[in-house]
A and B are shown apart, each in its own frame.
Chain A
Amino acid sequence: DGGITQSPKYLFRKEGQNVTLSCEQNLNHDAMYWYRQDPGQGLRLIYYSQIVNDFQKGDIAEGYSVSREKKESFPLTVTSAQKNPTAFYLCASSSPWTGYNEQFFGPGTRLTVL
């Protein structure tokens, strides 16, 4: 059953802590993306990666870091430098066969800073 999985579904963090959100896909997609969603707003791009061991900053990369050591995995670390990390985080992937522009989304992780 192909798809994108994100874990955990809910995550609570104390201020000053780093946390890592997991994203795994078995669609054999080359490109992966992280978005942040705030209430009543559209999605904003944090980071993306089109090939293993390479990634680029999106529109709101400050306070976040990523790695892409494997094609299937694209973890996102929310660092203590991120001033307002409470949000819903969505991971997505896409393939060159659809020109990269059709993205498939995971179920999301809701991060709350206590």
Chain B
Amino acid sequence: AQSVTQLDSHVSVSEGTPVLLRCNYSSSYSPSLFWYVQHPNKGLQLLLKYTSAATLVKGINGFEAEFKKSETSFHLTKPSAHMSDAAEYFCVVSVSNAGNMLTFGGGTRLMVKP
């Protein structure tokens, strides 16, 4: 079975400063990993995905994540936060032997201060 742990339920940054949202995963097989973003009362939008190609993955809106197998981590970063980045972020794992079902982390709420 696979699992995902998002290490921070809330992260607060100032506009213009770097963002780091931490995610650790557990999987017996090679995983696919995703970050989704959810704005209040909206559906989820895919930010980026890792599917065993390059370990540094670039996504939309300046976000990127690095797959580190030795650390079982897939942290999300952005060099400079914008007010519009304030939202809930979900780290998600999927493995082919589990029917490609998605397992979600508990989410990290990012707050951006002016």
Q: When the two chains form their complex, are residues B96 and A107 in contact, meaning their CB atoms are under 8 A apart?
A: no
With an 8 Å Cβ cutoff, the count of chain B residues facing the other chain is: 24
| Residue among B32, B34, B104 with the highest chain A CB neighbour number at 10 A | B104
Number of interface residues of A (CB under 8 A): 25
> Restricting to A71-90, which residues have a CB under 8 Å from any CB of B?
88, 90
Q: Which of B90-107 contact A (CB under 8 A)?
A: 90, 94, 96, 99-102, 104-107
- A110 closest partner in B (C-beta): B41
* Contact of B43 (CB < 8 Å), options: A40, A100, A101, A108: A108
Q: Evaluate contact between B100 and A101: CB separation under 8 angstroms.
A: yes
Report whether A90 and B43 are in contact in the complex, using a CB–CB cutoff of 8 Å.
yes
Interfacial residues, chain B to chain A (CB-CB below 8 A): 4, 9, 32, 34, 36, 41-46, 49, 51, 90, 94, 96, 99-102, 104-107
